Structure 1
Amino acid sequence: MNNQEQPSLKTTGYYLRPFRADDADTVQLLAADKRISEMVSNIPHPYPEGAALAWINSHRPAWDERSQASFAIVDKANHQLLGAIGLSIKPADNGLTEAEVGYWLGVEYWGRGIVSEACQRIVKFGLDELALDRICARRLSANPASGRVLEKAGFRHTGTAEGSCGDKFTSLDYYEILKS
C-alpha cells in the first residue's frame, strides 16, 4: 500500500480535492435528484440514506490501492461543492495502465462548462502524474452533453453499442484518449 495523500488539483475556476466526511450532506442532497440518476450509470434513485458517507469513506482505501482517484469539484469563489469526478484505475490486458473517467454534477450547475474544465484537468493528472497510458469513458447515448464534455477534453469517440453501464443496459457511446 502507498500512504501518499491523494493530491488536490486546481483549474481556473475550481478545486478538485479529495472528499471529506463533512461533504456527505451536500453529496446526499445533490445525488438524490432523479435527473442525475437518469444521466449517470451508478447513482441509484432513490439515493439511499447514508450512501454518500459510505461512498466517501471508500475513497481513501481505493486511493491507497491506486484503484481509484475521486475528487470533489469545488467552486474556488464560494467553496461550494458542485459534483464529483474520478478515475477508476486498472491494468490493461496488454500491460498498459488505463483508467475510466466518470463524473456527475449537481443539476443546478449543468451547462456552465464546469465538468469540461474539471475533465481536462483530471485527464492531465491521469496521463502526466499517474502515468496512465489510456483513459477511456462511457456515456449513456441519451446524454449528449456528456459527449461534448469528453470531446472538449480531447477524447476520441470510438463507437456506440448496447451495453451495461452500472445498473443500466442501454445504448452507450465509448471514448478514449491515449498518452501518445
Structure 2
Amino acid sequence: MVKKEDESLIGCMSLGVAKNHKRAELAYWVGQPYWGQGFAIEAAKRIVQFGFEVLELNRIFAAAMTKNLGSYRVMSKIGMKDEGIFKQHILKWDVFEDLVFYGMTKIDYADAAGSY
C-alpha cells in the first residue's frame, strides 16, 4: 500500500489463496502514522473486489487479535460479518491471544456491491 500523493509506503495487504477451496485469507498491516485515515478500508475493498471478481473466490475471511479494534473495524466496514472468537488461538510474545474472525461469501459481496 502506497500513498497516492508521494508514493510513500503506508502498509501491506494480501490474499492468501486456497485454490482448491476457492477461498482466501485477507491479511494486512498499516503503519501507525496512517491509522484511522481510511487507507486500510480503501485497499481492503479493492483487494476483496479482485478476489471475488477476478480470482472468482467463493469466500474471503480475516482475523485479528481481539484487542486490535481498529483491524476488525476495517473488516466490518468492508462488509465482512463477525464469525466468532477463537480463544487463545495464537502465541505472541509469550502470551496466548484470542482472535476474532470475520468473513464474507461471494453472495455477501454481491449483496454489498453498491458499497464497492
Report the TM-score, using the length of structure 1 for normalisation: 0.55
Say how many residue pairs are matched: 104
Alpha-carbon distance in structure 1 between the residues aligned to 2:64 and 2:27: 9
State whether structure 2 residue 9 is matched by structure 1 residue 89: no
Give 5+ residue unaligned stretches, structure 2: 108-116
State whether structure 2 residue 8 is matched by structure 1 residue 80: yes
Taking only the aligned residue pairs, the percentage that are identical comes to: 37
Structure number with the higher strand fraction is: 2
Partner of 1:49: none
Q: Which runs of 4+ in 1 moved over 2 A?
A: none
Other structure's SS at 1:75 match: coil
Alignment of 1:77-156 (within 5 A): 77-91=5-19, 96-156=21-81
One-letter amino acid of the counterpart of residue 149, structure 1: V
How large is the Cα RMSD of the aligned pairs? 1.3
* Cα distance, 1:76 vs structure 2: 1.0
Alpha-carbon distance in structure 2 between the residues aligned to 1:111 and 1:103: 14
Other structure's SS at 1:121 match: helix
Give 5+ residue unaligned stretches, structure 1: 1-72
One-letter amino acid of the counterpart of residue 171, structure 1: D
Alpha-carbon distance in structure 2 between the residues aligned to 1:138 and 1:82: 20
Partner of 1:173: 100
Alpha-carbon distance in structure 2 between the residues aligned to 1:122 and 1:154: 13
Other structure's SS at 1:81 match: coil
One-letter amino acid of the counterpart of residue 131, structure 1: E
* Cα distance, 1:170 vs structure 2: 1.2
Alpha-carbon distance in structure 1 between the residues aligned to 2:38 and 2:53: 23
Alpha-carbon displacement from aligned partner over 1:12-39 (angstroms, at most 9, x marks no partner): xxxxxxxxxxxxxxxxxxxxxxxxxxxx
Between 1 and 2, higher relative CO (CA 8 Å, sep ≥ 6) is seen in 2
